[in-house]
């Protein structure tokens, strides 16, 4: 999409007969303090608030919101890496904190497990001798500090770490090579963490353009795919048919920069479905972003950088489109800029357990909805 300062925000298009109807949850990635739940007409039906800020969140089955806050003031330098977070918070429907986990090296993604534990991505410095053997990347200013690696932790409700998986112990320095246009501050830059129906870990590594499924028991990769096929991707999710849906950002791709959505079959590494913009360059987000398959076969896409969310049919027709109207003020050097970027968006059906019995009357937010 064009980045005109005069383009409209809020609801752009809606074809009710072709959509998967429900409520869409999103938050402004930087500089925002609310998570917004909107209906298909783009009206706010509920909002959560955190004074610490909300960079990404999703709805739990009990109606609570599990969220990630912005970067902490000091994480030994890691706070300057994209996706850094100071804490995970769980808010009830009225925005009261009912659970929290604070650790300065948290980043990007998390998932609440059925037993009440929480999976989280964190950074940890990898051994210096191993870092020296990692290939690719460039040494930038201030990159003399040890290299960070991605660690998966499972945290109990009381805050105890009951499981962890160190990615660097299962990577291959000859295969997992950092893009030459990326810094060597990290080996992989994990940006997604999901769980397959078998309980294994579905991970995404931006710097090596790799998506993988990790056997949670052995720690070994059951499947690893991506280099040369996707470029700095985000948000792989496991589909009911056994395929994996991925937002292929397309950064550092040869030729015209563009993003696409791909559905890949891990059994064959064949792409079963893809979505591109028309023309290709009309759909592009260098970072963040998501894609989520709906029960009717449609896909809800978050083109994160410009704050655009839209829904496409299997035939690739756009049937719903919305631009985030909520801008955060973010410092850039000595100045500030307004951004409406969205890390991810999620669509929930009206019968989702977390929404049953809840007040979703948009009239409660008439002061906001009258503008969009």
Which H helix or E strand runs over 162?
strand 161-166
CA distance 224 to 211: 6
What are the pLDDT digits (tens) for 187-223? Answer: 999 999 999 999 999 999 999 999 999 999 999 999 9
Query: Can you list the residues of the chain whose pLDDT is less than 50?
Result: 1
Pairwise CA distance, residues 61 & 41, whole Å: 24
* Portion of the chain with pLDDT greater than 90, in percent: 91
Q: What's the distance, CA 83 to chain centroid?
A: 9
DSSP per residue over 196-239, as a string?
Answer: -TTSPEEEEETTTTEEEEE-TTT--EEEEE-BTTBSS-EEEEE-
CATH architecture, range 20-369: 7 Propeller (2.130)
> Which token pair is 355?
């929404």
pLDDT, tens only, 77-125: 999 999 999 999 999 999 999 999 999 999 999 999 999 999 999 999 9
The pLDDT, as a whole number, for residue 142 is: 62
The alpha carbon of residue 98 and the mean position of all alpha carbons in its chain are separated, in whole angstroms, by: 23
Q: What pLDDT is recorded for position 334?
A: 61
Sign of the torsion formed by the C-alpha atoms of 281, 283, 289 and 294 = negative
Do the beta carbons of residue 213 and residue 243 sit within 8 Å? no
User: Residue 268 has what pLDDT?
Assistant: 98
**In a 3-state reduction of DSSP, which class is residue 281?**
helix
Query: What's the first-to-final CA gap in the chain, in angstroms?
Result: 19
pLDDT at residue number 337: 83
Hey, what are 307's tokens?
Answer: 């704050």
Domain boundaries, the chain: 20-369
Phi, psi of 165, deg, nearest 5: -135, 120
- Closest to 214 in 3D by CA, of 345, 84, 119: 119
Judge residue 188's burial from the number of C-beta atoms within 10 Å of its C-beta, 0-12 exposed, 13-18 middle, 19 or more buried.
buried
Tokens of 31: 């500089």
User: Whole-prediction pTM value?
Assistant: 0.97
Q: Where do the DSSP E strands lie in 126-200?
A: 136-138, 148-155, 161-166, 178-183, 190-195
Contact 202, 196 (CB under 8 A): yes
């Amino acid at each position: 999409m064009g980045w005109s300062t005069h383009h409209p925000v809020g609801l752009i298009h809606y074809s009710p007969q072709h959509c998967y109807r429900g409520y869409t949850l999103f938050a402004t990635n930087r500089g925002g303090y609310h998570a917004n739940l909107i209906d298909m007409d783009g009206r706010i039906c509920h909002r959560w608030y955190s004074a610490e800020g909300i960079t990404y969140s999703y709805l739990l089955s009990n109606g609570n919101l599990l969220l990630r806050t912005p970067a902490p003031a000091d994480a030994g330098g890691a706070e300057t890496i994209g996706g850094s977070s100071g804490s995970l918070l769980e808010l009830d429907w009225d925005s009261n904190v009912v659970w929290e986990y604070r650790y300065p090296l948290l980043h990007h993604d998390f998932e609440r497990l059925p037993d009440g534990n929480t999976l989280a991505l964190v950074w940890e410095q990898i051994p210096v001798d191993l870092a020296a053997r990692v290939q690719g990347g460039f040494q930038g200013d201030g990159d003399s500090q040890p290299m960070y690696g991605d660690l998966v932790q499972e945290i109990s409700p009381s805050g105890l770490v009951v499981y962890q998986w160190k990615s660097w112990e299962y990577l291959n320095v000859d295969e997992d090579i950092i893009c030459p246009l990326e810094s060597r501050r990290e080996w992989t830059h994990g940006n997604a963490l999901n769980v397959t129906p078998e309980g294994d870990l579905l991970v995404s590594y931006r710097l090596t353009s790799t998506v993988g499924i990790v056997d949670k028991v052995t720690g070994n990769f059951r499947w690893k795919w991506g280099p040369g096929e996707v470029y700095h991707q985000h948000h792989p999710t496991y589909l009911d048919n056994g395929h994996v849906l991925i937002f292929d950002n397309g950064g550092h791709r040869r030729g015209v920069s563009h993003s696409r959505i791909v559905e890949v079959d891990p059994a064959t590494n064949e792409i079963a479905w893809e979505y591109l913009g028309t023309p290709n360059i009309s759909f592009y987000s260098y970072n963040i972003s998501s894609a989520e398959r709906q029960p009717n076969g449609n896909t809800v896409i978050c083109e994160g950088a410009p704050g655009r969310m839209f829904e496409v049919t299997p035939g690739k027709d756009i049937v719903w489109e919305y631009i985030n109207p909520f801008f955060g003020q973010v410092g850039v050097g000595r100045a500030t800029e307004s951004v409406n970027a969205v890390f991810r968006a999620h669509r929930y059906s009206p019968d989702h357990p977390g929404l049953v019995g809840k007040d979703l009357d948009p009239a409660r937010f008439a002061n906001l909805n009258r503008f969009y």
